[in-house]
Amino acid sequence: MAGILAWFWNERFWLPHNVTWADLKNTDESTFPQAEDLYLACPLAFCMFMIRLVFERFIARPCALGLKIQANGPQKAQPNAILEKVFTAITKHPDEKRLEGLSKQLDWDVRTIQRWFRHRRNQEKPSTLARFCESMWRFTFYLYIFTYGVRFLKKSPWLWNTRECWYNYPYQPLTVDLHYYYILELSFYLSLLFSQFTDIRRKDFLLMFLHHVATISLITFSYVNNMARVGTLVMCLHDAADVLLEAAKMANYAKCQRLCNVLFVMFALVFISSRLGVYPVWILNSTVFESWEIVGPYPSWWVFNVLLVLLQALHTFWSYLIVRIACRAISRGKISCATNLAKLWSHDRSSTCY
């Protein structure tokens, strides 16, 4: 195990030339990011998960009921042991041959069996009330963390001059505000990872699981090798669009169509401008060119930048999807927010990756 840890924490991979982990140990004069600092995120993630449960029960749910959002879920399929066994153990989408076999076995017509499977699949979908509560929790967190990030970065020199992200790197001291910002973001995504196993299982379970793992890995990666300054810029930039997206979802669930349409358009504008404009011009320019000039490349620098460039490719793909949906809606003479959000649902939640 000692050999594996020594290989994993190889200084020549993580740190610039002539820098060692001993150089970044905390002293009385200065504090630097330490890998063990991130252990705090695990109990905080559990606390955040519990806070979410309380928030959804005593704040989000009453708000939803006040907006006339029904607590009733989809129509339940009538109990049937044979069909239930097929559904849970074999397939949720039986083919024609299997449907005919079940029809003979149960003496039901094929259309009735198809209807049963459709109702049974719908049972696994969260109700509109549950979706509203989840979106309200995320909206509240994103609004808070985005506001905190803006207030923190306004006082930080690297917001106004991104070259400050690399001056004196990696000997940049860790401030209390920066540490709090990172731990809170990491705790939130850890809590989302945990909650996937307690929430209603959705069809995008694996996609979102991989997304949360990638997000947690990138936050951890940038903290450990003290790229936290540029990391705060990336996190704040991504949180901006997520606030509007969750607000649009809430308006959609509450059937406030005009508000939903306005918020969706605002989300699309902020998403595209921030991820196709600000991100490459401001963030990637700093991580690739300014850091090359001031610090120079080293192994983890290449890994970090490759991941950020891949993230830009995903931004381009998601922006294309948003524009395509908007163009289709405009060509039909209206913007249907409910349809737009439904189509985006399987894509948008990966947009917060790092």
Closest to 174 measured CA to CA, from 21, 297, 17, 29: 29
Q: Which pTM does this prediction carry?
A: 0.84
For the ranges 16-25, 201-210, 251-260, 293-302, the lowest mean pLDDT is seen at 201-210
Contacts of 249 by beta carbon, 8 Å cutoff, 6+ apart: 131, 132, 135, 341
pLDDT at 254 over 80: yes
Average pLDDT of the chain to the nearest whole number: 87
Q: Distance (Å, rounded) from C-alpha 213 to C-alpha 30?
A: 31
Instruction: Give tens-digit pLDDT for 15-52.
Output: 998 899 999 999 888 899 999 999 999 999 999 999 99
pLDDT at 123 (0 to 100): 76
Q: Confidence class of residue 157 from pLDDT cuts 50, 70 and 90?
A: very high
Please write the tens of the pLDDT for every residue from 79-133: 888 888 888 888 888 888 888 898 888 888 888 988 888 888 877 777 889 889 9
For helices 128-154 and 228-253, angle between their N-to-C axes, nearest 10 degrees: 150
pLDDT in tens, 195-246: 888 776 666 677 778 878 888 988 999 999 999 999 999 999 999 999 999 9
**Burial, 291: exposed, middle or buried (Cβ in 10 Å; 0-12, 13-18, 19+)?**
buried
Q: Which residue has the higher pLDDT, 341 or 242?
A: 242
